[in-house]
Structure 1
């Protein structure tokens, strides 16, 4: 008996002892098979049969559906009803025999019933008939469970289990790389790749058919790194320079001349490369202000999240912020996000004349209404929680087509953007890839802390953006010529 009043208010779990059990007693559980069930069972068991977890493989199978593990429906669900209900706590398995008649597909709803068939006084064993049907009342399996029933009454608070959140770090970046399969690789200048991370990242991207790397920098240093890392450079073009400043200037000149279609930062500071890129007369600037976009793969968010600007524009003017928004929308289009939802971030959701970011957000929204900024659904000001959480927006009574489902979040300044990106990376297990837009060619900015997948994804971003820009230019020229 539980005397603690705190425990008495909790949900209890209680058994039936051997003496309390009668022939014909039964208990039932109903459960639907979810993707999470399949993946959790695969994690626990190590069974990664493609029948269960490979969607592409399942499409070619007879059922054209993912099939659950048989032991989930039999072992797991039977253990649930026998261990929690009848006989309940204190029950121990002696044996089990089952015969299966059909598989369980993702989304099927099972009803598992156990019924007392026999009792054995000598060793307190209870024999159960086991019966499982799906939502169509088709028999999935039948059989016998042989259990040692408890002899003492047990009544306890139901255990509070930990919450499990299945995360797939890098899944969005993997999909990004897969999107490039139908495109030819682009020539990319790798600027000053004199450390193992930047050189190996370029070679890995080349092997994946994303880029044709042109290594720009002191060739002796590049070859020394290659020798130390056992990297074969015989298939790759090298352009010799004396130092990183010259490497940046040379790579930018190659982009300006059309010799390469993209740039990637190697072992030099971002400012050094961008200084060469924005030089009047020799750089690769366009009428659009350059800005940076992080594509964040956040395991707890259901879609890629673009964060801008977190690397280039420190305290952007209103005009610059308009370009930042348009650049991010254009990148989303290149990744087949046809009408991205853009959240203009601030500390609050209301317009406050004393808070510049709220005033600028309101003006940008009106510009979008007037088609001065095109291609996305824009709303703001929005605090970060309202931009990414439907529940937060609902509680605050915010009615918005963007709130809770943003594809793009636009920070009020570089400090805020950088903190958002870094917090997602280090506290939310996010991975990222980054690209500079608004130049004549895409510029991939990488960090020594980037994973191999992040570097690969940055190359994929550059490839997809380069091909998208070509398609837009071709369409524009076609339209002009037909007028």
Structure 2
């Protein structure tokens, strides 16, 4: 943004300037953190006065700060310093409303280089006066032109994609879910939280005494929840898989046991949940600042997948993306390079998977590779490399060359970029919710929401 000021000598009574600004939910969050004012009346998803509705009222001083933007950027502009300001607030502004801030010069004071200006902020829809007042500022004496494009930007650490998934999933019937060994606070608490959000109806399978003791420590009520007593973890997993065969459970959820112990009975050729496709894991990531959910696969099950396994990894990733509402998922198959190099096996696999999708062996999405990480998700990087593709720079599903790479991508996004990750195992007859011991409440909720949405699509909405 190029700003150029108007010096005191260039000003005249009657000069005016204005700026338009859409007030967003993120604005309210940034202002709350910056000012320290955490009044729930000003937080978009909180009910600040107990009337059952979220108010999302813009703080009055946030609205007032829009006047300073006009003064500092336009009139008089760069170099301006406040001396006085008074405000009268006539109405309230809310998140989602477009506002216009306007200042008008009413008096000039040559002896002090001060300027008096009338100030106002209006809601554009309906031309409603929100704020009026008078400002006195010291105007600049020297001409300044400044490009502000290097000003550091802000990314609000909100998980808007998961919030939307939760909203969609909460509208579905609760998914009957066998929760295996929920014998410590996070695993049991996550299952009970998902029940309160009407995402799942848990059947708790494990050591009943430990489950009840954990519930007591949480202060949680287990009334109305079925508990099947099986103290041995591997046998609890077998019992949970049997619940699916009996039609009583439509999903599995990992509790406090090893992933291998959970998946072994699910993979049993005679009594398990196989359906002709490899089990593969998908992280659904909500990355702050990214305009869409990002799916990472496989980061937890297949260590060094061959081409045949990668076909299933890609197809499972596409199927899950479609369940989340991405109509034509764009799949970037990752390598260290974006050209085929015979010495880099992952680049060969990526090219073959791309061609297989072109020939209809992989369906439901657009697949391209090899792509490096940068040009898979950043359009500018793709253009710089001269890559012309419907996927490059726009990938919604990232297929890692092996488990090491996939796990590192997911963990880096979580612990460096402050992303949340929901984990799901696909390829089985029912979704398998695979949470990490380190997952917080949002990650556990999102995993259940993803499972519910996927089940709803593949089952045609049947409970």
User: TM range, normalised to the smaller chain?
Assistant: 0.7 to 0.9
TM-score (norm 1): 0.80
> Equivalences for 1:388-427 in 2 at 5 Å?
388-427=377-416
* Partner Cα separation in structure 2 for residue 465 and residue 141 of structure 1: 46
Note closer, same or farther for the CA distance 1:468–1:269 as it changes in structure 2 (3 Å cut). same
Note closer, same or farther for the CA distance 1:326–1:134 as it changes in structure 2 (3 Å cut). same
| Kept after mapping to 1: 8 A contact 2:99/2:121 | no
* Partner Cα separation in structure 2 for residue 224 and residue 99 of structure 1: 55
1:282 aligns with 2:271: yes
Q: 1:328 corresponds to which residue?
A: 317
Residue among 223, 226, 234 paired with 1:234: 223
Deviation at 1:163, TM superposition (A): 2.0
1:454 aligns with 2:443: yes
* Partner Cα separation in structure 1 for residue 428 and residue 77 of structure 2: 70
Q: Secondary structure at the match of 2:162?
A: helix
| Kept after mapping to 2: 8 A contact 1:186/1:261 | yes
Q: How many residues align?
A: 450
1:112 aligns with 2:66: no
Deviation at 1:240, TM superposition (A): 1.2
Note closer, same or farther for the CA distance 1:91–1:248 as it changes in structure 2 (3 Å cut). closer
Q: 1:174 corresponds to which residue?
A: 163
* Partner Cα separation in structure 2 for residue 194 and residue 87 of structure 1: 62
* Partner Cα separation in structure 1 for residue 398 and residue 175 of structure 2: 29
* Partner Cα separation in structure 2 for residue 223 and residue 116 of structure 1: 73
Note closer, same or farther for the CA distance 1:310–1:112 as it changes in structure 2 (3 Å cut). same
1:164 aligns with 2:164: no
* Partner Cα separation in structure 1 for residue 124 and residue 195 of structure 2: 50
Deviation at 1:417, TM superposition (A): 0.6
Deviating more after overlay: 357-366 vs 30-39? 30-39
Note closer, same or farther for the CA distance 1:139–1:23 as it changes in structure 2 (3 Å cut). farther
Deviation at 1:330, TM superposition (A): 1.0
Q: 1:60 corresponds to which residue?
A: none
Q: CA RMSD in A?
A: 3.8
Deviations 1:165-201 (A, max 9, x none): 2324322112111111332112111111111111111
Q: 1:204 corresponds to which residue?
A: 193
Q: 2:369 corresponds to which residue?
A: 380
| Kept after mapping to 2: 8 A contact 1:68/1:106 | no
Deviating more after overlay: 431-440 vs 172-181? 172-181
* Partner Cα separation in structure 1 for residue 38 and residue 28 of structure 2: 10
Q: 1:184 corresponds to which residue?
A: 173
Q: 2:83 corresponds to which residue?
A: 93
* Structure 2 residue ranges without an equivalent (≥5): 46-55
Deviation at 1:94, TM superposition (A): 3.2
* Partner Cα separation in structure 1 for residue 377 and residue 291 of structure 2: 10
1:347 aligns with 2:336: yes
* Structure 1 residue ranges without an equivalent (≥5): 1-9, 55-65, 475-483
Q: 1:253 corresponds to which residue?
A: 242
